[in-house]
């Protein structure tokens, strides 16, 4: 009435409701969707204000009501978006005059909001973003080369054109000693030998540099060096992490696979497909099985998977976290996209939907991380794969038979199945050794709703029509609401009977839908049935019970009392099959718990069989075995002779296949993605694909729609809904994702990898946020060059070595790293590459170079990792680096073969900024600290290598001058100047040659590459 009077007094003629709704849809809703919902959407809205639907919008937020319907001037919303310095929107330009006027007019109309209209965030609709645009090959710029700086590759033209635009000149080429040292560290992670330096400096052939590049790329040292970069990306480690950081004895084959693949120059798309689904696409290839170690590379919660029992919330959280890590590793590594940010809501900055995230989770719904068998011998692997395929076919035939058996309409089978389901639920709910009458369950709980008038129902199947005396509804009293008897009891409801599961013509036994029903508290509600005959009993709630700002329907137990005197089971519902419109299946809540013989606090009644077992786990296990035998016997009496014969044949063939598999030599093992493995306590295979629901706010207890496997919807020309012949087959899901990622039309894949290669050569990528090509990441400094590289990479067969050659043979790469005043003034960060970037050696290169220079580097490739610590496998394992003898042979292996521990990093390597294996590391930190200097001087490993270095020099010559000269050549690649030689000889004479070698190792020239 106030709004109407106000409108009349102001002389406003309110439009008809239909026209007002149309005005809102056409004029106002698009403004809210594009400019407001990013912050004020339905999920966790800023300031508590949601503009996603009319009810929430008119209710306001933390500051109270912001829309005063009919009073535009009195509405805070209009104050926020108008004026000279509007407070909203926080991002982007202010609303223009037309948009503000539309909001003002809408509020003046009474703020009509169609009841069926819910707004969605559309801020990205119609907007393009560079990384999500299709790849197109740019034209190479035509630019004049400056004197002494030839344009050797198209890369030079792109970089030079950008430098010209910024009035910058490139730097001259570095000297040959600098170039070979830069190249060798870049491709091998090791210094060149004095002989290699001398040979290159004296080689005046026009192709000397190109031949040097080819020689370094052809060396197996290349794969070892660049594998370390890849292992950083996928956070490879050889322990699980978390509080029980147990070792992974068989993780190392994946590391060897990466080294070998890079050395072989495997086409990048094949490299990707193998790591996601090699075991499916190429099952006869041992490497392809090992390659799926990528999926298992990250941390793994031993407690959550092995020690937590099934059916608990924490178990669901552990599994969700595990899939999140698999998804994040895959999408971040191959696509440079932060899809994992959409776990709890649509991505705040990029056009990635929460549905996209859970579609990707569904891809990994059937795999876990475990040791899986394979054979390094390809012939043995072929035989194992063939037998495995045969076993799968037999399993499919067995499943078909099971489905055939399921068609039998037999009440005894249905009854026995229900009893088994009840027993399995009770076993899952019991802790080890549990006994007694305390209830392990709460009962049935519907999905949580935002409004009370959402219809819900739950029903039981008695197996066949039976006469019913009474229906008892037992109110819930869950343990987490101890002072709330009658929890979830419906405010309005009806009890219906039927012999039709769809209740097409129900018999109404009790009807309380017309008015609110008083909550019975702790007392059961009893409805007389008078002997009515029915197979199904349904409780239909029409108004839900108010919880805390939401509404639910819950019952502790549904009892259906038989009308027949002397019935051996008076409660017909006990152990019966239960279905519901929806249900929370977690913790102490489940549809099965509605008929398990317990209310929320104690055993409601005992069956004769349970009295004998007295509720102990052993009794339940014995009862399951007894009922299973009874069911099998009953089943065999129903089968015809042909089906029995087929069953016998399948069992016989399966036994033969198992015998042949057992006769193979013991397999090798790799820690990788696995769907079939030996159970370990509560860690068991998925047996198919676990159902993946869209989780509201990422909460495993707030399950939304069931999600099918798919990919990102932000590349509209690629189908993101996977069309699978057998959606239940987990392997086909990974194959579909691998093909989607490697599709030639996927621009993210190629932009991502060429940017990474560029980064590892220049110290910074063309996009300096290599794992985030979204709006919160950086934009490319040379976008045309990035796309040219991506298209060239794709057209050239996706050869990484060809990409290396293209970059390394450019004039841009060969530039001097010397600083210049003009360059520093215009581009101090050298983003546009007017010079080469000087680089500090990473941790592995420091370690490997010290071994190499000292003559102690073990260059044997592959095999189990070197444990450079003392290990004790305890409740929480102990990793002690202090007591490790640095003179052991394992200390001399290359850094890439070092055993990587997550919880206790090697202090020496950690000090030098080695990667944290618990997180994806697309870029390492580079710090300069006093601790690094102290570690280089005093760490036992460096002391040991200084002694070995000194012995090597003593073996070369007894002349101190020659010793110093050779030390300088080995470590720094050049002879010392006279003053350097004299100073170091004097130091060696006073403190010993080993200490002089420590000084060489601690020089900036050893630790930095120009």
Q: Determine the pLDDT at residue 434.
A: 41
Task: Please name the helix (run of DSSP H) or strand (run of DSSP E) that holds residue 511, with its range, or none.
Answer: strand 507-512
What would the 3-class secondary structure string for 117-185 be? CCCCCCCCCCCCCHHHCCCCCCCCCCCCCCCCCCCCCHHHHHHHHHHHHCCCCCCCECCHHHHHHHHHH
61 Cβ contact partners less than 8 Å away, ≥ 6 residues apart:
45, 47, 48, 49, 50
Burial of 637 (0-12, 13-18, 19+ CB in 10 A): exposed
- Rounded to whole angstroms, what are the CA distances from 273 to 40, 269, 279, 376, 669? 40, 6, 10, 20, 21
Peptide bond into 89 cis (omega under 30): yes
Q: What is the DSSP string of 560-620?
A: EEESSTT-S-SBTTTT-EEEES----BTTB-SGGGGSSB-SSBB----HHHHHHTT-HHHH
pLDDT at 777 over 80: yes
Displacement of CA 306 from its chain's centroid (Å) = 20
pLDDT at 493 over 70: yes
pLDDT at 213 over 80: yes
pLDDT at 163 over 50: yes
- Range scoring the smallest mean pLDDT among 242-246, 443-447, 662-666, 976-980: 662-666
**Which range, 185-194, 568-577, 864-873, is most confident?**
185-194
Tell me the mean pLDDT in the region 398-420.
Answer: 68
pLDDT at 617 over 90: no
Handedness of CA 412, 599, 699, 297 (dihedral sign): negative
The two tokens of residue 665 are 């030599």
pLDDT at 410 over 70: no
pLDDT tens digits along 974-983: 999 999 999 9
pLDDT tens digits along 15-34: 445 577 778 887 888 888 77
Task: Please name the helix (run of DSSP H) or strand (run of DSSP E) that holds residue 467, with its range, or none.
Answer: strand 456-474
Tell me the mean pLDDT in the region 926-934.
Answer: 93
pLDDT tens digits along 517-539: 999 988 889 999 989 999 999 99
User: What is the distance between the alpha carbons of residues 75 and 737, in angstroms, rounded to a whole number?
Assistant: 49
Percentages of the chain per state (helix, strand, coil), in multiples of 5: 45, 10, 45
Mean pLDDT of the chain: 88
pLDDT tens digits along 594-613: 998 888 877 765 543 443 34
413/314: higher pLDDT: 314
Using the 8-state DSSP alphabet, how is residue 973 labeled?
Answer: S
Q: Say how many C-beta atoms besides its own lie within 10 A of residue 22's C-beta.
A: 14
**CA angle in degrees (0–180, nearest 5) for 529-534-535:** 130
pLDDT tens digits along 464-489: 999 999 999 999 988 777 777 899 99
pLDDT at 279 over 90: yes
User: What is the distance between the alpha carbons of residues 866 and 176, in angstroms, rounded to a whole number?
Assistant: 36
Question: Using an 8 Å Cβ cutoff, are 942 and 1000 in contact?
Answer: no
pLDDT at 623 over 80: no
The two tokens of residue 663 are 């006769």
- Rounded to whole angstroms, what are the CA distances from 7 to 4, 15, 497, 968? 5, 11, 54, 91
User: What is the distance between the alpha carbons of residues 643 and 646, in angstroms, rounded to a whole number?
Assistant: 5
Alpha helices in 727-876, H assignment, sequence order = 730-742, 747-762, 783-795, 800-808, 821-826, 843-854
The two tokens of residue 489 are 């009891």
- Range scoring the smallest mean pLDDT among 265-279, 599-613, 776-790: 599-613
169/664: higher pLDDT: 169
Question: Using an 8 Å Cβ cutoff, are 897 and 866 in contact?
Answer: yes
The two tokens of residue 477 are 């009293």
User: What is the distance between the alpha carbons of residues 455 and 450, in angstroms, rounded to a whole number?
Assistant: 12
Percent of the chain predicted with pLDDT > 90: 62
Strand locations in 638-778 (E): 668-674, 693-695, 703-706
- Range scoring the smallest mean pLDDT among 171-185, 418-432, 971-985: 418-432
Using the 8-state DSSP alphabet, how is residue 586 labeled?
Answer: B
Task: Please name the helix (run of DSSP H) or strand (run of DSSP E) that holds residue 465, with its range, or none.
Answer: strand 456-474
User: What is the distance between the alpha carbons of residues 184 and 845, in angstroms, rounded to a whole number?
Assistant: 11
**CA angle in degrees (0–180, nearest 5) for 515-521-524:** 90
The two tokens of residue 465 are 């029509």
pLDDT tens digits along 734-747: 999 999 999 999 99
pLDDT at 459 over 50: yes
Question: Using an 8 Å Cβ cutoff, are 963 and 997 in contact?
Answer: no
User: What is the distance between the alpha carbons of residues 186 and 175, in angstroms, rounded to a whole number?
Assistant: 16
Tell me the mean pLDDT in the region 265-273.
Answer: 97
Q: Say how many C-beta atoms besides its own lie within 10 A of residue 650's C-beta.
A: 18
Q: What is the DSSP string of 787-828?
A: HHHHHHHHHTTS-HHHHHHHHHTSTTTTB-----HHHHHH-T
Output the pTM of the full model: 0.71
What is the pLDDT confidence band of residue 836, given thresholds at 50, 70 and 90? very high
Tell me the mean pLDDT in the region 664-670.
Answer: 90
């Amino acid at each position: 009435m106030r709004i109407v009077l106000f409108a009349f007094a102001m002389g406003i003629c309110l439009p008809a409701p239909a026209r007002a709704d149309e005005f809102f849809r056409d004029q106002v809703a698009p403004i809210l969707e594009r400019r407001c919902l990013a912050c004020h959407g339905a999920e966790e809205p800023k300031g508590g204000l949601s503009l996603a639907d009319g009810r929430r919008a008119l209710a306001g937020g933390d500051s109270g009501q912001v829309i005063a319907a009919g009073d535009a001037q009195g509405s805070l919303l209009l104050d926020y978006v108008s004026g000279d310095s509007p407070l909203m929107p926080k991002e982007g330009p202010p609303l223009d005059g037309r948009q503000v006027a539309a909001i003002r007019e809408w509020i003046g109309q009474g703020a009509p909001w169609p009841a069926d209209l819910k707004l969605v965030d559309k801020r990205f609709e119609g907007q393009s973003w560079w990384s999500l645009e299709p790849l197109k090959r740019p034209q190479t710029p035509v630019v004049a080369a400056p004197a002494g700086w030839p344009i050797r590759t198209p890369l030079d033209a792109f970089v030079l054109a950008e430098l010209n635009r910024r009035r910058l000149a490139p730097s001259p080429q570095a000297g040959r000693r600098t170039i070979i040292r830069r190249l060798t560290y870049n491709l091998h992670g090791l210094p060149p030998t004095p002989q290699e330096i001398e040979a290159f400096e004296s080689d005046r052939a026009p192709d000397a540099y190109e031949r040097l590049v080819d020689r370094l790329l052809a060396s197996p040292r290349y794969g070892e060096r660049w594998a370390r970069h890849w292992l950083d990306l996928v956070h490879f480690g050889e322990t699980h992490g978390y509080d029980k950081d147990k070792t992974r004895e068989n993780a190392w084959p994946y590391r060897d696979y990466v080294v070998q693949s890079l050395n072989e120059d495997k086409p990048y798309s094949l490299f990707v497909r193998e790591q996601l689904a090699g075991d499916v696409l190429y099952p006869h290839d041992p490497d392809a099985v090992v390659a799926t170690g990528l999926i298992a590379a990250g941390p793994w919660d031993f407690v959550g998977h092995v020690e937590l029992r099934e059916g608990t919330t924490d178990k669901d959280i552990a599994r969700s976290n595990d899939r999140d890590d698999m998804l994040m590793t895959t999408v971040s590594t191959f696509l440079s996209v932060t899809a994992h940010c959409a776990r709890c809501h649509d991505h705040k900055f990029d056009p990635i939907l929460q549905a996209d995230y859970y579609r990707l989770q569904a891809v990994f719904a059937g795999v876990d991380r475990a040791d899986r068998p394979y054979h390094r011998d390809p012939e043995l692997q072929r035989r194992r794969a063939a037998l495995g395929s045969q076993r799968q076919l037999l399993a499919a035939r067995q499943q078909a038979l099971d489905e055939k058996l399921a068609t039998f309409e037999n009440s005894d089978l249905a009854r026995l199945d229900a009893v088994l389901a009840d027993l399995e639920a009770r076993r899952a709910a019991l802790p080890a050794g549990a006994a007694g009458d305390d209830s392990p369950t709460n009962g049935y709980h519907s999905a949580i709703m935002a409004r009370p008038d959402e219809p819900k129902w739950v029903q039981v199947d008695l197996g066949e029509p039976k006469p019913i005396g009474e229906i008892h509804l037992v109110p819930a009293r869950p343990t987490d609401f101890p002072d709330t008897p009658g929890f979830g009891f419906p405010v309005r409801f009806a009890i219906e009977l039927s012999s039709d599961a769809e209740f097409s013509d129900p018999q109404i036994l009790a009807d309380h839908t017309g008015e609110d029903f008083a909550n019975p508290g702790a007392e059961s509600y009893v409805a007389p049935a008078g002997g009515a005959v029915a197979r199904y009993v349904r409780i239909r709630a029409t108004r839900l019970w108010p919880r805390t700002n939401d509404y639910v329907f819950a019952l502790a137990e549904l009892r259906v009392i038989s009308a027949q005197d002397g019935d051996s089971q008076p409660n017909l519902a006990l152990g019966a099959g239960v279905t519901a419109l929806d249900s929370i299946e977690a913790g102490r809540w489940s549809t099965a718990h509605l008929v398990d013989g317990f209310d929320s606090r104690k055993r409601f009644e005992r069956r004769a069989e349970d009295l004998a077992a007295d509720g102990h786990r052993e009794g339940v296990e014995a009862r399951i075995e007894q009922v299973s035998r009874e069911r099998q016997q009953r089943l065999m009496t129903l089968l015809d002779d042909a089906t029995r014969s087929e069953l016998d044949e399948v069992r016989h063939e399966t036994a033969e296949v198992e015998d042949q598999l057992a006769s193979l030599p013991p397999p090798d093992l790799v820690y990788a993605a696995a769907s079939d493995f030996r159970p370990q306590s509560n860690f068991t295979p998925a047996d198919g694909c676990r159902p993946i629901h869209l989780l509201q706010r990422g909460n495993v207890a707030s399950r939304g729609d069931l999600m099918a496997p798919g990919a990102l919807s932000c590349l509209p020309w690629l189908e993101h809904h996977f069309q699978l012949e057998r959606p239940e087959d987990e392997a086909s899901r990974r194959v579909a994702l691998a093909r989607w990622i490697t599709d030639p039309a996927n621009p993210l894949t190629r932009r991502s990898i060429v940017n990474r290669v560029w980064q590892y050569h220049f110290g910074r990528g063309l996009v300096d946020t290599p794992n985030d090509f979204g709006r919160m990441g950086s934009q490319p400094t040379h976008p045309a060059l990035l796309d040219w590289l991506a298209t060239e990479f794709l057209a050239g067969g996706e050869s990484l070595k060809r990409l290396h050659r293209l970059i390394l043979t450019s004039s841009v790469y060969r530039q001097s790293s010397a600083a210049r005043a003009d360059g520093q003034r215009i581009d101090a960060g050298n983003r546009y590459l007017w010079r080469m970037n000087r680089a500090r050696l990473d941790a592995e290169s420091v370690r490997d170079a010290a071994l190499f220079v000292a003559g102690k580097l073990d260059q044997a490739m592959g095999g189990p990792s070197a444990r450079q610590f003392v290990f004790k496998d305890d409740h929480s394992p102990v990793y002690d680096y202090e007591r490790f003898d640095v003179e052991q042979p394992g200390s001399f292996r290359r850094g890439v073969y070092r055993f990587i521990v997550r919880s206790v990093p090697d202090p020496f390597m950690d000090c030098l900024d080695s990667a944290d294996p618990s997180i994806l590391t697309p870029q390492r930190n580079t710090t300069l600290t006093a601790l690094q200097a102290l570690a280089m001087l005093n760490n036992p490993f460096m002391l040991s290598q200084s002694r070995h270095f000194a012995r090597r020099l003593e073996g070369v010559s007894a002349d101190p001058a020659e010793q110093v000269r050779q030390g300088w050549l080995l470590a720094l690649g050049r002879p010392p100047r006279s003053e350097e030689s004299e100073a170091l000889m004097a130091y060696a004479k006073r403190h010993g040659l080993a200490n002089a070698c420590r000084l060489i190792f601690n020089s900036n020239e050893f630790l930095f590459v120009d």
